[in-house]
Amino acid sequence: MRKPDIRELKIIANTIRQDIIRMLVLAGSGHAGGSLGMTDIFTVLYFKILKHIPEQPNNPYRDRLILSNGHICPVQYATLARAGYFPLVKLKSLRKINSQLQGHPHRGSLPGIETSSGPLGQGISQAVGMALAAKMNKQNHHIFCISSDGEHNEGQLWEALMTAHKYQLGNLINIVDYNGIQIDGYTKDIMPLLSLRKKYEAFGWEVLETNGHDIKNIIKTLEKAKTIKRPVAIIAHTILGKGVSFMENKYSWHGLAPNKEEAAKALKELQHGK
């Protein structure tokens, strides 16, 4: 099957952003900022990079994607639906009682969800375990983890990074959503990260950086990461709320859903920029 070109990937990403807005306004709650900020990366992963078959979500040869910062699951749900994992109509049920689309991902509730997540800092530990198991079983798929800059406040994450280095997990790629924002404010004020690159390098990881909204650069960076024979951290510089002017870089939108008026304004901007 032919994979989309860069122009088509941009269109898909824009469509997914609109899906996110529609999902959140119907739900009346959820996390808009990070979901919009990571849309370009999710689009590239599922439509260009990942080795996966939507019709066979448990295919043993698939790549695995672990969403550690599970609160941005609206972007994962919308991307999975657009990729063909389940019908688009399910997106309307986000956060509803008994919905398969819970406020944080739950393994087993939907095809394509590899782990349950919510408590920050745990996803990289799960990804390290999967990567180590794959290496021990001599399997050649990759484990991709999505993590947030804010969850690097968690000590468990750094223990996992040491473990990945010890076992030289060349099948592990951690993509850090580096938007400089967490729920209480800006990361530089809450708990300064200083040089995240130097910290990862000190823990024995290879470090790459990318503009998280430059489709061509994202593809190039991910393809390079897959060739490296040790754990790779990709620091993705993103804009919280990307694509919606009144949300961009405003930490108040970390965990906020738009009301009907805000959603209409956001959709108008996105449709104009399509």
Q: Quickly count: other Cβ atoms within 10 Å of residue 119's Cβ.
A: 13
pLDDT given for residue 148 in this prediction = 97
Q: Quickly count: other Cβ atoms within 10 Å of residue 37's Cβ.
A: 31
Q: Which whole number is the average pLDDT over 24-47?
A: 98
pLDDT given for residue 274 in this prediction = 56
Considering the domain boundaries, does residue 148 fall inside one? yes
Q: Which whole number is the average pLDDT over 243-271?
A: 97
Q: Quickly count: other Cβ atoms within 10 Å of residue 64's Cβ.
A: 20
The whole-angstrom separation of Cα 96 and Cα 64 is: 27
Q: Is the pLDDT reported for residue 1 higher than 90?
A: no
The total domain count for the chain is 1
The whole-angstrom separation of Cα 193 and Cα 256 is: 24
Considering the domain boundaries, does residue 1 fall inside one? no
Paired tokens of 124: 């990289």
Among candidate residues 110, 103, 234, the one with its CA nearest the CA of residue 174: 234
> Percent of the chain having pLDDT more than 70?
99
* pLDDT tens, residue by residue, 118-175: 888 899 999 999 999 999 999 999 999 999 999 999 999 999 999 999 999 999 999 9
The whole-angstrom separation of Cα 178 and Cα 201 is: 17
Considering the domain boundaries, does residue 92 fall inside one? yes
CATH number at residue 122: 3.40.50.970
* pLDDT tens, residue by residue, 79-104: 999 999 999 999 999 999 999 999 99
Q: Is the pLDDT reported for residue 187 higher than 60?
A: yes
pLDDT range class, residue 272, cuts 50, 70, 90: confident
**Average pLDDT in the chain:** 96
Among candidate residues 117, 120, 113, 114, the one with its CA nearest the CA of residue 103: 117
Q: Which whole number is the average pLDDT over 53-73?
A: 97
Place of tokens 């306004």: 25
Considering the domain boundaries, does residue 239 fall inside one? yes
Does the pTM surpass 0.85? The reply is: yes
The whole-angstrom separation of Cα 157 and Cα 168 is: 16
* pLDDT tens, residue by residue, 205-251: 999 999 999 999 999 999 999 999 999 999 999 999 999 999 999 99
Q: Which whole number is the average pLDDT over 55-64?
A: 97
Determine the structural domain holding residue 47 and report its residue range: 6-272
Considering the domain boundaries, does residue 227 fall inside one? yes
